[in-house]
Structure 1
Amino acid sequence: MVTIDETKLAHSAPDDAQGLGLGVFLCGLGMHVLTHVGLITGQTAGIAVILSYLTGWSFGAVFFVINLPFYALAYQRLGLQFTLKSLASVTLLSVITTLLPLGFTIQTLHPALGAVIFGTTVGIGLLAMFRHNGSLGGLGVVALLIQDRYGFKAGYVQLISDAVIFGVAALLFPISVVGWSLLGAVVLNLIITFNHRRDRYIAT
């Protein structure tokens, strides 16, 4: 029987840096497309998008600030390394989404195609981050904390929070915006569902 020495398969610091960097860049690209066509998404990013639309502030700045309260929770629940990776990833995403419009302008893009591009790029980006024990912080940490303390599954917490976010969006934006946004959310979650399998991924 062949055994695998997991210590030889552990990610090195350069491995994590390139994996997280790639993931954050793809997420930033997807968010640039999403905000260009005026759509929304779920989780903490969705809250930041809605606030940026309502206030006129940049998504990057709002997303960075709105994540600040979650770092203490991340430290308690997932440790220092995860928290530092999340802080670095959120900061980098904020910078990327602020700089991308300066060098990448989109002339014509239908919201349906924009939703699919968003869901695809962010889905792949998050997969890359998950494989290097990274995240974009936010409500996902709260969901894990609730699961630990009360036994209520984190996935259900996230579904409820997304339902609330999209419900609020339905009161603020045209129904077409919410509809195309849901398409993007479905594409993103299908990519995560079909591809995020830790039992098929050996490296740690």
Structure 2
Amino acid sequence: MTATDTPTVPHSPIEDAQGIALGVLLCGVGIHILTTVGLITGQTAGVAVILSYLSGWSFGVVFFLINLPFYALAYGKLGLEFTIKSLVSVGLLSLVTDFLPLGFTIEHLHPALGAVIFGATVGMGLLAMFRHKSSLGGLGVVAFWVQEKTGFRAGYVQLMTDAVIFTAAALLFPLSVVGWSLLGALVLNLVITFNHNRKRYIAN
């Protein structure tokens, strides 16, 4: 916070809880749609999706384990509050993605529409979590930290890391899967890029 920033009004614990819960739910729905149509994504979630497809393990388990090394970075660079909230968010998302299919099934969904819905829902979910000083850990922590420290948009950081992940995915999956998946990742990152700017916010 600089001397020219508008004084902030902290969120209450209840406001943080509902914001994080909403973000997790939106992200869980998006991931469920993504995996239902057999697509992939970028960032740490993308790595978890790919590994879950290849190993047969659930996305929730893989996602939780992959995130563990990133908490040290989150604590050292973004503080205890952000780290705890991110740990809670990751744990909740791991549970939501494992249990959501028990009550939410999709009979038919075209991959193109699934990709767009995924990108929009996860993008809005991440915005809700960013707004309440949380994230889904992993490479998102790195992107959020870069934006906070340098002003370079988190969405652009994610686009660059996505490029690496999708290049590797192109060697493992059909190009049609990679193509529709790129559409979903593009929508997601554009939602974040156009809507996440901490200087527009009053509450901290």
Which residue number in structure 1 is paired with residue 68 of structure 2?
A: 68
- In 1, the alpha carbon distance for the partners of 2:39 and 2:101 equals 16
Give the drift of 1:73: 1.3
Q: 1:198 to 1:160 in 2, by over 3 A?
A: closer
Which residue number in structure 2 is paired with residue 120 of structure 1?
A: 120
Structure 1 portions without partners, runs of 5+: none
Note if 1:182 corresponds to 2:173: no
Which residue number in structure 2 is paired with residue 173 of structure 1?
A: 173
- In 2, the alpha carbon distance for the partners of 1:158 and 1:120 equals 15
- In 1, the alpha carbon distance for the partners of 2:177 and 2:184 equals 11
* Partner deviation per Cα, 1:52-84 (whole Å, 9 max, x = no partner): 000111101100000011111111111111100
Give the drift of 1:144: 6.4
- In 1, the alpha carbon distance for the partners of 2:203 and 2:19 equals 12
- TM, length-normalised to structure 1: 0.89
* Aligned residue type for 2:179: G
Give the drift of 1:110: 0.4
Q: CA RMSD in A?
A: 2.4
Structure 2 portions without partners, runs of 5+: 1-5
Which residue number in structure 2 is paired with residue 196 of structure 1?
A: 196
Structure of greater Rg: 1
Q: 1:197 to 1:160 in 2, by over 3 A?
A: closer
- TM, length-normalised to structure 2: 0.89
Which residue number in structure 2 is paired with residue 39 of structure 1?
A: 39
- In 1, the alpha carbon distance for the partners of 2:202 and 2:147 equals 26
* Aligned residue type for 1:85: K
Map 1:15-26; keep pairs closer than 5 Å. 15-26=15-26
- In 2, the alpha carbon distance for the partners of 1:132 and 1:140 equals 14
Give the drift of 1:190: 1.5
Map 1:72-91; keep pairs closer than 5 Å. 72-91=72-91
- In 1, the alpha carbon distance for the partners of 2:196 and 2:160 equals 21
Give the drift of 1:146: 7.8
